[in-house]
Each structure stands twice: as structure tokens, then as C-alpha cells.
Structure 1
Amino acid sequence: MTEPLICHSPFPYTASQLFALFADERDAVFLDSSLTNHLGRYSIIGLVPYHRVSVEQGQLKIDGKAREGTAETYLKAYLKKHYQANPTDLPLTAGAIGYVSYDYGLARYGMKSRHAPAFPLPDMNWVFYDFFIIEHRQSHAVWFAANGQTMPAEALLAQMKEKIRTRLQERPFPRTGENTQYAITVQPDSTCENYQRALKKLRDYIVAGDVYVTNFTSTFHVQSHCPPYTFFSRLRRDNPSPFGAYLQYGSHQIISASMERLLCLRDDQIETRPIKGTRRRGKTYTEDEKLRQELAQSQKDQSELLMIVDLERNDLHKICRPGSVSVPTLFAIEPYATVFHLIADVTGTLRPGQTAIDALTALFPGGSITGAPKQRAMEIIDELEFSRRQLYTGTIGYLSLDGNCDLNIVIRTAVHHDDQYIIGVGGGITAESDEAFEYEEIWQKAKALLSALKGDTFNYESYL
């Protein structure tokens, strides 16, 4: 290994434009802040993989070979041994990009889903990359970072510049067919009647005191010939998000437009941002404001968010300095292209000796997509839901070699495999929930993804 090199990109293109040159390359990954705001400050591309940590059917694998022990133990040791300071203000110049599935979290609580998986998907997949492209979304400044793991950093930087130059000459900005319409067939995993029956059972558990709030998920199987990168391009254009992603794994692709952060760690400062409460955007300014106010004044949504904030505070207390956990933002309304969300910020200061892996272990799976109490909610989820979640409500993001991390919650996300897209949609259920309203809400949440797949507005009314 040689000293890392970090420099400005010599090309007048954004990260999304450059990623289009690599979107078909196995293990090419893109953490995409298509919504430029105080959360979506950077977009990051990972290329040239050199080390993989995965878990498949409960078995830890290192570079594809089975290994004894746990992923948490291995990752903590690896990150400590290979610590690399980041001398810049950039969020990531060396480290791994990947995901942890909800199923992995289920196993950590000693549970296994009663449902069969839709297709074989590793429960965890972290890939360490030798070359990164990082864009500051406000200024559009772009940097290259070569770490010298696979070859001397100077040679790697020269090779990647030449590869980009050659691909630009061969196919200047590949066409993604963004305006092409595709036929789609949507198969929800339950009927409206079955969904409402399950919610009534869930409300019985709530009334009995088993849980106070639980996130209930449905899964849509969508047949479509829409290419996954076309789908991603449309989604980021029409529904920009701060924590989006495109992960190209060859046999399958992950397309995310998440707006929820599970965990951000900077030095010893930690933040989680639960979302609870959703309203669609209005067709007119007057309707839009009415819906915003309806969400802002909803006692049901506020009580739901408050319960999850209490859960997240408890999770942070496990790893944070006493007295450092606080809630600087509560009941804030955030607007997105198709919905309003009710959000909170929960922050703390990490205790000495605690790491990003400890923080992920303490918080995962996120309280907003399980419920309170967390373990009982997860048991009820698997009893009543109609499909295995797999990746949905897990996390996607990065682990930096300097000890920092930024991880989303996998919502507004599809997994593509063999011309089929698997889309999870869900919402929080309390004793005050209305079954018909909740069923329409999951379709409203899915509408942005289904419209992007179709290439035209998807009308879901016939499914209600």
C-alpha cells in the first residue's frame, strides 16, 4: 500500500454523470444525495473493490471464504487495524460501502422469519473500495480519492482517469431511456381485506399491552422490463432524496430513494433521525398547506413519533456518555416530492472505547421500522406480515476507515432480480390507526417507485 492521493476531478461532470459510466460494472456503488439540503451534502461513488465482508445464511464470509466468528467482531478488528485518518472535510475517502438487511437484525435477536426469501440475498455485504469519487452537492466540486490498496495510488489514479476519459469518448453520457414507458404488473402480498384483518390482530396486541407502536410492512412484487439504472435515474430525478443509493451486484441491483437516517457518526457525535407520520402532497398550494397542517396537528402521528424517540434515546444511552443524549428537534415537518414526513433528531456523544460498529449494533434494526418494545414488535411483525422483509428496513451506507459512518434506513427501496422488482412499503400502527387509511398510505408511499418504473403516473385506486 502507498500513501493515499486525493485530488480534484479533471472532468466537468457531476458524480451522477460519472457513475453512469460504471453503472453496469459489478460492485460499482453510488450513495446518492439527489436532494440537496442540510442532509444531502455529498454523493459518493465506490469503485475498485479489494475486500468483502458478508454474511450468507448466517455464515460469515471474508472475500467469499467461510470464517468463524461474527461480522461485528471481524469488522471492529479490521477497522481498528486498518485505521486511516481523513485529512479532508470530505465524509469518506477510504472504507466500505454496503448494507445490512433487516433479516440480519432479526437473527441477532434470536429469530428467523417464518417466510421463505424471495431470492437468495446475503444478509450483510460490506465492500471496501480502493477508489472513490466524492461530490459536494451544493458547490458541485468533485474529488477523486485513490488509496493504493490494489496498486500504487498514483498508478490507480492515472488508470481511473484514463478509464473515464476512454468511456466518455466511447459513450458520452449513456442513454438511460428515461422517457420510455414500460408495462408493469404489480402483485401485493395481501389483499385489502387480509391487510385490514392483520392490522386488527395487531391492534389487539396493542390493546393487550404487548406493544405500543409497530411498523407493519407489505411487499409488492413488480414484473417489469424497465432497466434498473433507468429506474434509478427516474427516481432520483422525480423524487430526490438525501440518502439514495444504487448498488450494482451483478445478479441483483438495489435502488433506493430513502429519506431516513439510521445513524451518522462524526468523531464522537452520533445522530439518528426517526420518521413517523406521512401525508401526501397536495395538488394545489391550498391543499398542500392543509395536508401539512393536518400532519403537524395529528395527535396520532405525534404520539407515534414520541414513542419511537423514547426507544431511540434508550438505544443511544447504551453507547453514549451519561447525560449527553438529547432531542434537539421534535415534530418537524419535512417536505418531499410526493409526501410530507414528521421527523425528530436524537443525538448523543459516544463513550470512549465505543465504535461505529457498537453504535450500529445498539440501534439496529431501527426503532421507527420495528416498534416499541423492539423485540416484541419484531416477533409480532413476523407473525402477522405476509412476506419476509430481507433487505427492506435494513440499512445502506458507509463505514469509514477513520471510524465515522453514515447509514440510512432502507425505505422507498427496490431490489431488482430477473426482471422482478421487490418493493417493501409500510407504516407505523398504533391503537388509533384506521385500517383503510393505513392501506391507502402504503400505496401512496409506493406510488413514486411504481410511477418511476412505469414511466408515467401509477394510479393505485383500483387496488384499494
Structure 2
Amino acid sequence: MADRPRILLIDSYDSFTFNLASLCKRAIPGSHIHIIKNDALPPASFIPLLQHFDAVVVGPGPGSPDNPEDIGIVKDLWHVAEDSLVPVFGVCLGLQSLAVEHGGRIQRLNVVKHGQVSRIHHQGRDLFENVGRVDAVRYHSLHVGLSGPADLEPLAWADDGEENGQVLMALKHKRKPFWSVQYHPESVRTIGGGEDVLRNFWRLASRWSVTHGRITLPWTVTAEDLTGACWPSVRPEFAIRDPAELSTTPVLTRALGAPYADVSRICEMLDVEDDSTDFVMLNSAAAPGRFSIIGCLSHTSPKITYIIGDSFVRLRRGQDVTFAELGTLDIWAWLAAFMRRRKAHGGTPGVPFWGGLVGYLSYELGVQTVAPVPPRSATHPRHPDVNLVFVDRSIVVDSRDQLVYIQSILPSDDDWLQEMTGRLRKILAAPAADRPLGVPSSGLVPAPIVTLPDRAEYISKIAAAKEWLFSGDSYELCVTAPTRIRAPKATVAVARGTSSSWELYKTLCSRNPAPHSAYLRLHPSTLLSSSPERFLSYSRTPDSLCQLRPIKGTVRKAPDITREVAEELLSGSRKEVAENLMIVDLIRHDLHSVVGEDVHVRQFCKVEEYETVWQLVSVIEGKPAPAIKNKTHSDLGWEVLRASLPPGSMTGAPKKRSVEILRELEGAERGIYSGVLGYADVGGGGDWAVIIRSCFKHDERSLPSHDSLLHHAGDREDAAPGAIPSTSDEDFKGLGGLTERLGALHDTTDRPSDSLPDTLFDEWTLGAGGAITALSDPVAEWDEMVTKVESVLRAFDDPTSR
């Protein structure tokens, strides 16, 4: 056997594969891990390849071993000729496949086990030699029953009592070097049955190879052409080729003490109320947020838009639009290269943003990486999936230390810095006088028309989602639906002649303050966000640290909801913890896929206090391996972002199969909702939040089409949303008194909307949903979805009517 073991890991499109790769690296020190998909090679290429490996690990995956599309070449692995045998360790689907190919049968569990921890009973031999107590995480709805020829020997089981009885948890083949477990040894909450069991497998595999005289063939270029480089590796598009691209420009900074710093006042000083312009502001409007970022845009600030399926990126500076061909790059590598040429240095180290790209990325952009689907046809145009503006002048407010930083990365910008410092001193010298969010209504402005998803249809989708969970295709599905709002422009804006969306944002922020609030007006789209959930942050190079903070589990604050009560409802709930655990394991996989082994769960299912809610939050961190860091430099954040989208908390696991199921269940694209918003800093850092508790609209502006790289040749028409039908009483179950304040939305009597021009109305979309597990109650999930809608819908409530 080779000095440095070489392991082949077969990935059945699971979302825990790279966790298993990391476990193998720990259990088999110095090993090379090569990962291939289970449908990547035909048997004629796959079988000879086995001679170059010391062992094979068959990872978990969705579906059933009875389905050839789910299991792929794994089925052939169990039937290779004697002279091609290689030691194999299977996990979950791997165990089920081994059993089925040797006379076992697949059955459904009466009570599925997704994210559940069970005691594993074993006899302390074979895989479990010198292994004591095992508490293992299970992700399965199918299990194996053994019958027929006694080629397989059980090694461990779980006792589910009245739910499922005894369930097989580990087995081996009596004559061939095949071992497997049903539980997930790679899960963060598996105790005792992970690294020790893999180490025992390697001991057994090595002994079998020596006994049977098996010799591993030397590694060859041909073999690597089939499998790719060993994990972890850098995509060629992200490898630094030209050192000249790493040159940087200085950041110019002025700092002001600002005990009365008010983000809204600063934005209004910068003409946020002019709806005809673009404007970006990321607002830490509540704890634990600290820094708020305001872009000081000019008419020439470079704006980047991209639509899935296009072979080019639009670059707009004022009225000048050019098109950059992607060529051999994807959008992620193009964005990384764009930022690589604009690196900067010398800003205040504690300030997270010195300048860079600010904006949003759609949900579907992430889906394209995980499960590519054809873009919409030309007859159904779409809005930008990437909508970013490059900010070279900015104001950053530090609410904790009461400081304001004025920054520029433009050379010789001292005059602007001095002018802006003077303007800020004037408006921050004293606290702002309270300005009402509304003015008395004249009675002519109608109430908003709110169209919730159809209640019966939504509940039926939850029932359908649960069937996918029972069939083994997913462990968790985040089912969502859009709510549409036809709203009159804010009364206060009509009275003042100012931006309706800005007034709406201020109302949203005051009624639902959140650490990742945002006001992004990047025509043709406007996004108002009060998101509580950080998705991904990464610090500046060279010691970059990636952090993800998934939220699964929320309880709204109330006088009787103390911390102790919240902890009982959240961390004491088997359902809530299981949801959070599944996403934690999924995120670990996403992060491992890019940075390598150094990934750790710093916090698991801790109840955190926010302005209006208690949240169940976990924290996962990772640092890049030296080889990765040296090759990617500041591009690491883009690659982690690409690998991690769409957010696992908004899809479910395994991610690929889950997004495919959700696409069919939901029947429409999510667009901006459940994508991410945030920034990529010129110093190499970045911070992105999940777009939830948010609403967005599209105006009638169109994006220019691409006919040449130099001139406009036509427009991509963006049709405005159609009229929204009125809603029924049934739709509003769960909204309580909010509907009364919004008016009798389903009654058109004496409502003047039909006689008012469309220019007085905006069409807003807000998405909401929830993670569906086997323990979910469909009606309760509907109520939870409506509660989330209500948190944003409050912003449309006329404050003068209460």
C-alpha cells in the first residue's frame, strides 16, 4: 500500500460529502481524497480506475438504491471481479445499496429520522473495536431489512421502540472488504461513532489488502484526468495568474466623533429622496449590528448587472452602457477579476468596508451553481440576478464607538473629503428633531390591496413536501410563497414630493429593526430589507476567516416570553434543533468544499436576543488551507459565496435535490427573495445577509440588450407586474388586527383606487415560508408563514390610522 493513502469518495449529490472528506482526512492521516459524482464515469472507465486507490468511500445521498439514477455507478462497485476488489466504506445510501445488492430490501420507516440523535448499540468488534458509547445523527426515512443468503452480517442497530423497532445501523460483507453504516459519522453532533469508526475501517481495509496481496497502482495523469485534483483544490478561474493584478490603491479616510449620528439624516443629506437616482445603504439598525454603510454614488459610479443565461455582463456609467463578454469565465470568476483590479490598502483596520461592490444576488443565481436549469425564454424577460454598484466614496457609521468615517479610494479626493466632513459636522452637531412617519390622510388614498398565497394550495404544497421527505429525497424543504401588495405611494411621500420607497423603508425599520437592514435602489429594482440573518462574512486577507450564522428557530418577544421560556421553546425543541442541525451540517459541507479541513462549529443552537425576537443561532467558521490561500488571495470570498448559495436555510438538504423539488412545488422563481444582499470590500473582506423579512419592487425601466460591445441596439422589456386580484377572508387567517388597520382589503366599496392613476401605486412582492420537516404540521406552517409576512406588512400600515 502507498505511503500516502489515496481514497476515492463517491458523491451521490449530497450536501454532507465534504464533511465526510474531512472526516476521512482526520481518520486516515496524510491521505489524498479524490471526489467524483456517482454518474461522472461509465463502468468501463470506473472499474479500471479502482486499481489506483487504496479504498473507496461511498457517501450518502437523496433517493433510494432501487433507483438507478439515484445510485449511479455505486451499484457496479459491489459486483466487481475478485481481482478488482477494493475495500469500501459506505454511509447511509451506501449501506442501503450494499444491502440491496446482496439480498436486502428497502423499507420506509414508520417515523422518519432527519437530524435526530440516537444511541447506537454495538458489540465492540470490527468497525466498533475499542469504540465505546455512540450517539449518532441519523438522516434517513428508508431502512434496510435483511433476508435471503447470509452474505451480510449486522454490526450495530438503533432501538426506536414503538416507532420503528430495531433499525440496522451498520453491517459488513462476510467475504468481501465491504463495511457500512446507516447513521452519519460526519455530522457535527455524532459522538463516538465518527473518527474512531473510520479509523477502524482503515485498519481493516489495510489488513485485508495485505492478506490478499492487493497492490495499489501508481497514480497517473490519466487517472487524474478522470477524477480531478485531490481535495481541496482551487478552480482554475480563481487562480492568480498575473501578479500585476495584485497592485493596490490607498484608501483616504477622515473620522468624526458623532454622538448624534443618524443614518437616515445622512442618507437624506445625500438625496436619498430623489427616486430617479440609484442609492445603496446597509443599515445595522439593531443589535448585534454595529456598522452602517452608505454609498456616496455619482452618476458615473460603475453599475454591474447580469441576467442568468447571458454571455455578458452589463456595465453602466451614467448613460454609457458597455458589455463585457464572459468568455470562458462564469459570473463569479468575472466578479472576482473585477475586484482584483480594484484592490485597496491603508484604510482604518477596524472599519469593515473601505469601498467596493454593494447590492444583491438573486436566489436563482445560486440555484444555477447547484442545479442548473434553462433560463426563461426571451418572451418572458427577467430582472437582474446580479445587481451591484461599485462604491468608491462612502460613509460608515460606527454606532458602538459613535464615530463616522468618510472614505474615498479615488486618487486626489481630498477636496471631496473636506467638503463631506464639513457637511456632516453641521447635521450631526445636535440630535435630530422627530419627524413623523406619516401625515393625516385625506381619505382619497386607498388602503393597500394585499394578496396572500392561496391558503389551501400552500398547505397542499407542505403535504407534498412531506411526501418527498418520507421518500428519502430530502431531509428538509424550505417551502415559500410570494405575497403581493398593490400599495399607494406613502402618504407622507405624496405630501412632500419625496421617495415613497424611502419613507416605506423608514417605517419598516422603525417597526421591525434588524441588524442587516438595507435600502437598495438599483434601478430597475428596489429592495427594502429588515433581515435578521447574516449569511456569510469573510475578513480581509491574508488571515481571512469565513463565518456563517444560520438562523433556524424564532420566537417573537412578548412580556411572558423570557429567555428561559425562549430556550425551552427553541433549544428544548426536537424539531427546531433538528432543523438547525441539518443546516449546520450542510453549511459545513459548503465551506469545507472551498477552504479545506479547517472548519469548526463555534456555536451550536444558542438562543440569541434580537430587538423583536429570540432566535436559535449557530456559528460555523472556516479558514483556508495555505495552498488555497496562496493561490486565490482576495478571491476566496467570491468562491465561498458561489459554493454556499443559495442559502441552505432557504432550501433544505440535500441542496441539489431540494432546490429541484422546490422549483416544481413553488411553481415560480423567487427572484430577489432568499438571495443575499451585502458588499464585497476592496480590502478583500465581505458581508452578505439572507434576503428575508424584505420586500422588493421593479420599476418599468428596462435593461439594454446586447447587440454589440459598443452601442445600444435595443431594450430588454421588463413588463410591470399585472394587476393584483383582491383577496378573500380565508387568505387572511392569522393576520389578526393588522388587516383591520389596513382596511377591508377584499371590499372595493367606496375604494377610490380604480379612479386614481397607476403612478400613485407601487407593486411590491414579499416572500415568506418555513422549513418543512417530517415533524411539521401543515396548518401551523401556514400560520408561521403568515406571521413572517406580517412583520414586513406592518410597514404598509398607515401610522395615522392607528
8 Å Cα contact 1:115/1:388 also seen in 2:
no
Please tell me whether the aligned partners of residues 279 and 292 of structure 1 are also in contact (alpha carbons under 8 angstroms).
Answer: no
Corresponding position of 1:216: 479
TM-score by length of 2: 0.53
- CA shift, 1:428, in A, is 0.5
Pick the aligned partner of 1:270 from 539, 546, 553: 546
Matched, 1:65 2:322: yes
- Residue aligning to 1:381: 662
Residue 325 of structure 2 aligns to a residue in which SS? coil
2:357 matched residue in structure 1: 96
Distance in 2 between residues matched to 1:116 and 1:428, nearest whole Å: 33
Q: 1:3 to 1:333 in 2, by over 3 A?
A: closer
- C-alpha displacement of 1:293: 2.0
Q: CA deviation at 1:159?
A: 4.8
In the other structure, the counterpart of 1:285 is 560
Task: In structure 1, give the amino acid aligned to 2:399.
Answer: R
Q: 1:28 to 1:436 in 2, by over 3 A?
A: same
1:28 aligned onto 2:284: no
Q: Residues 387 and 437 of structure 1: is their aligned pair in 2 closer, same or farther, counting only changes over 3 Å?
A: same
Q: For residue 208 of structure 1, what is the amino acid of its counterpart?
A: S
Asked whether the 8 Å contact 2:364–2:670 carries over to 1, the reply is yes
Q: Does 1:77 align with 2:337?
A: yes
Corresponding position of 1:462:
none
Aligned match of 1:341: 615
Go from structure 1 to structure 2 and tell me whether the alpha carbon gap of 1:183 and 1:119 turns closer, same or farther (over 3 Å shift).
Answer: farther
Higher relative contact order (CA 8 A, sep 6+): 1
The count of residues paired between Structure 1 and Structure 2 equals: 450
Letter of the 1:128 partner, please give it: F
Match of 1:403 among 679, 684, 692: 684
Inter-CA distance 242–167: structure 2 relative to 1 (3 Å threshold): closer
The one of 696, 711, 723 aligned to 1:415: 696
For 1:300, the aligned partner's letter is: K
Alpha-carbon shift at residue 154 of structure 1 (Å): 1.2
Q: Whose Rg is larger?
A: 2
Q: Is 1:45 matched up with 2:311? A: no
Relative to 1, partners in 2 of residues 1:400 and 1:164: Cα closer, same or farther, differing over 3 Å? same
8 Å CA contact retained: 1:277, 1:305: yes
Q: Kindly tell me: are residues 167 and 248 of structure 1, through their superposed partners in 2, closer, same or farther at Cα, counting changes over 3 Å? A: farther
Structure 2 vs 1, CA of residues 368 and 223 (structure 1 numbering), >3 Å: closer, same or farther? same
Structure 1 residue aligned with 2:504: 231
Whether 1:308 aligns to 2:593 is: no
Is 2:703 the counterpart of 1:450? Answer: no
Which segment is superposed worse, 417-426 or 368-377?
417-426
Structure-2 change in CA distance of 1:163 and 1:337 (3 Å): closer
Letter in 2 for 1:79: M
Seen in structure 2, the aligned counterparts of structure 1 residues 13 and 287 have a Cα distance that, compared at 3 Å, is closer
Give the unaligned 5+ runs of structure 2: 1-247, 491-499, 699-760
| Deviation of the 1:291 alpha carbon | 5.0
CA drift at 1:164: 6.3
**Cα separation, 2, equivalents of 1:115 and 1:180:** 46
1:187 aligns with 2:440: no
Distance of aligned partners of 1:137 and 1:6 in 2 relative to their CA distance in 1, 3 Å threshold: same
Give the SS at the match of 2:302. strand
- Determine if contact 2:608/2:614 at 8 Å carries over to the other structure: yes
For 1:112-191, what aligned pairs fall within 5 Å after superposition?
Answer: 112=374, 120-148=382-410, 152-161=412-421, 177-178=437-438, 183-188=447-452, 190-191=453-454
Q: Which of 620, 637, 640 pairs up with 1:359?
A: 640
Q: How far apart, in 2, do the equivalents of 1:177 and 1:27 lie?
A: 22
Distance 1:119 1:287, change over 3 A: farther
Distance 2:388 2:363 in 1: 15
Q: Residue 45 of structure 1 aligns to a residue in which SS?
A: strand
Contact preservation (8 Å) 1:176, 1:230: no
Note the C-alpha offset of 1:185: 1.5
Matched, 1:259 2:532: yes
Secondary structure of the 1:48 match is coil
- 1:95, 1:14 → 2: CA distance? 23
Deviations 1:316-339 (A, max 9, x none): 1012242x2111111111233443
Partner of 1:295: 570
Query: 2-side partners of 1:281 and 1:348: how far apart?
Result: 32
SS in 1 for 2:669: coil
Q: Is the CA contact (8 Å cut-off) linking 2:251 and 2:344 kept in structure 1?
A: no
Which of 202, 216, 219 aligns to 2:465? It is 202
Q: In percent, how many aligned pairs have the same letter?
A: 29
Q: What are structure 1's unaligned runs of at least 5 residues? A: 460-464
Q: Structure 1 residues 317, 114: closer, same or farther in 2, change over 3 A? A: same
The answer to whether the 8 Å contact 2:251/2:345 transfers is no
Per the alignment, do residues 161 and 403 of structure 1 end up closer, same or farther by CA in structure 2, a change over 3 Å counting? same
Instruction: Check the 8 A contact 1:23/1:248 in 2, yes or no.
Output: no
Pair 457,303 (structure 1): closer, same or farther in 2 beyond 3 Å:
farther
Could you tell me how far 1:53 is from its partner in structure 2? Answer: 2.2
Relative to the length of structure 1, the TM-score reads: 0.89
Q: 1:291 to 1:184 in 2, by over 3 A?
A: farther
Q: Provide the secondary structure at the position in 1 that maps to 2:519.
A: strand
Distance 1:179 1:119 in 2: 38
Aligned residue for 1:425? 768
